[in-house]
Chains A and B, each alone.
Chain A
Amino acid sequence: MTIFLQATVEGLSLAAIYSLVAIGFVLIYKSMDVLSFAQPALAVVGAGIISSLAVDRGIPFWLALILGIFLTGVLSLIIERTFLRPMVGEPVFSVAILTIGIDILLRTVLDSWIGINPRYLGDPFPTFGNFGAINVGGVNLKFLELTALVTAILIILILSVFFKRSKYGVAMRATSFDQEAALAQGINVGRIFGLAWFIAGILAAFAGFFITGGFNTLGQFSFLIALRALPAVVIGGLDSIPGAVVGSIIIGLTQGYVAYYQIPFENLIGFSLGSGFSLLAPYLIMFVILIFRPDGLFGTEEVERV
């Protein structure tokens, strides 16, 4: 039971991270019909910016965190303005390829900055309590993981209020429903695109911090964790925010359980699934779900596939 709880907590905190990246992906898809494969890269770039501010430049951590998250939003906005805006109306496929190009560009720059040694983000999490964790009834709870979980829940609540109550939140929903009718109301649709990318950049930077904070550190492979938000979005359906969250929970829990139960399971069936199986498992789940629900669990049917 302790192991099960441990696996669940770890799985959910991963889910929190994935859902932050995944929601950004869905926001962009809903507002401008663009599949942005640059989201995971923005997450690690955000971590890089925070690290560079806090460690290289010596800015107090919490200020560096806020500044880094904001700057990642601005970077995302600039990417939209310079690369994506001129592509409005081009085929979904070409635009998706363009975002892959942006992804490669961002990661190349980041990787050359990171260099060989992993980077710390300068956060105080390793020094909290018992090396950044507490023990509750045999379950080891890392502060960073708990913070990720709480932060993701808060962000989702804030976003749902934003979409329900605020002028621009309602305008974003309207634009995603019928762009021409939104224009006819005098909504500046370009501004809505920019806003979607800005929010997505901010969410990605939060995720980037939770992936690389504490003892995790930012290395060239941190990106692979953020990348797992993609199967989460595909499972949930490209155009559904609740879908993105549910998809992330499915991927996160799968990963958590595989990490703890793979070896007992292998002993049971008598052969090894391989050490990389926990990385593979999210994609297996994705394939199985897509066989039964080609548009994802919450996706709209007519969503175009690449």
Chain B
Amino acid sequence: MLSVQNLEVVYQDVILVLRGVSFEIPKGKIVSLLGSNGSGKTTVIRSITGLLDIQNGDITKGTISVDGEDITNFNPSKIVEKGIAQVLEGRRIFSELTVVENLRLGGHTNSQDIQSNIEKVLDMFPILKQRSKGEAGYLSGGEQQMLAIGRALMSDPSYLLLDEPSLGLAPKLVDQIADLIKEINEQGVTVLLVEQNANMALNVSDHGYIMETGNVVMDNPSEVLLKDEDVREFYLGLNPEGTKRKSFKDVKHYKRKKRWLS
């Protein structure tokens, strides 16, 4: 289990962006983390994977642990060695390097299995196999996302953290990514799925957390969230005809939840 408890994060010593975030990713499950722009989802991932430092961010409170071991403030390479891999927001493939070189980099901490893992990943993505020697920058957006996911799998992770894998992809590709996430999970990888596409995320995940301005404001099994009126209105864009859009903060559900938390 990957567990984040009461996490508080500050950028540049003054900008408080996470205000006590707690959530859990039980082994073998897919957990989604939803929230609008700037709510702090990427910051949560950075805190887990040790990438706050380079952004001039600090964990000022809280703990992160994996399978009972405290990994708060571990450096990025240590985190990867602990079996936690990530797909960065915006894919961030090394576009000047070839497809295979990108995969090799994903296996940087796992040298002994590199050749067999490259074959495994290329078998998983036949499109990448055809272009394995080509420069990764020439791949299409969807292919680049597959490469980013394949690259993360190269370290044989037990936990995979995905930051908005559906970003900028056509609906058909989003479905493909969703299937892929399920498939990866079925092979035994525990997944944290950060998304703005709540529909996709809730359909693949077991449990969902909703963030707003640095707080978790709601969490429930995904099928419950999918049916929740407020979630439908604010994240699935399914507001009933004629009703005015309110701020999520005005919603009773949210207030109730918050009182319960305090």
Contact = CB atoms under 8 A, between A and B. Distances in A.
Interface of A: 89, 167, 170-171, 173-174, 177-188
A173 B96 contact: yes
A184 B51 CA distance: 7
B76 A183 contact: yes
Contacts of B93: 181
**Smallest CB-CB A-B distances: 5 pairs:** A186-B80, A186-B109, A181-B92, A186-B77, A183-B76
Interface residues of B, number: 28
B24 interface: no
A182 B105 contact: yes
Contacts of A170: 97, 101, 104-105
User: Could you say which of A174, A182, A184, A187 has the most chain B C-beta atoms within 10 Å of its C-beta?
Assistant: A184
B97 A180 contact: no
A174 B101 CA distance: 9
Contact of B86 (A89, A177, A184, A187): A184
A89 B50 CA distance: 17
Interface of B: 49-51, 54, 56, 75-77, 79-81, 86, 88, 92-97, 101, 104-106, 108-109, 111, 151, 155
A177 B97 CA distance: 9
A177 B51 CA distance: 17
Given A177-B97, A184-B76, A171 B108 contact: yes
Nearest to B76: A183
B88 A184 contact: yes
B92 A178 contact: yes
A240 B80 CA distance: 31
A167 B50 CA distance: 22
30 contacts: A89-B56, A171-B105, A171-B108, A173-B96, A173-B97, A173-B101, A174-B94, A174-B105, A177-B94, A177-B95, A178-B92, A179-B54, A180-B51, A180-B88, A180-B92, A181-B92, A183-B50, A183-B76, A184-B49, A184-B51, A184-B88, A184-B92, A185-B105, A185-B151, A185-B155, A186-B77, A186-B80, A187-B105, A187-B108, A188-B75
Contacts of B77: 183, 186-188
Given A186-B155, A187-B105, 13 more contacts: A167-B111, A170-B105, A173-B96, A177-B94, A180-B51, A181-B88, A183-B50, A184-B49, A184-B51, A184-B86, A186-B77, A187-B108, A188-B75
Contacts of B104: 167, 170
A89 B54 CA distance: 9
A177 to B, nearest CB: 5
Q: Which of A171, A180, A181, A186 has the most CB of B within 10 A?
A: A186
Given A170-B101, A183-B51, A187-B105, A178 B86 contact: no
Q: Is the interface of A mostly helix, strand, loop or mixed?
A: helix
A185 B128 CA distance: 19
A176 to B, nearest CB: 9
B161 to A, nearest CB: 10
A26 to B, nearest CB: 15
B128 to A, nearest CB: 17
B117 to A, nearest CB: 13
B92 to A, nearest CB: 4
Contacts of A181: 88, 92-94
A177 B54 CA distance: 15
A170 B97 CA distance: 9
A228 B81 CA distance: 44
Contacts of B151: 185
B121 to A, nearest CB: 14
A73 B224 CA distance: 61
B97 A186 contact: no
Nearest to A187: B108
A178 B51 CA distance: 13
Contacts of A173: 94, 96-97, 101
Contacts of A183: 50-51, 54, 76-77
B94 A178 contact: yes
A186 B88 contact: no
A179 B106 CA distance: 14
Nearest to B155: A186
Nearest to A176: B96
Nearest to B56: A89
B94 A186 contact: no
A167 B108 contact: yes
Contacts of B109: 185-186
The residue in A171, A181, A188 that gathers the most chain B C-beta atoms within 10 A of its C-beta is: A181
Contacts of A177: 94-97
B250 to A, nearest CB: 37
A183 B55 CA distance: 12
A177 B79 CA distance: 22
B54 A185 contact: no
A183 B49 CA distance: 9
B155 to A, nearest CB: 7
A7 B136 CA distance: 44
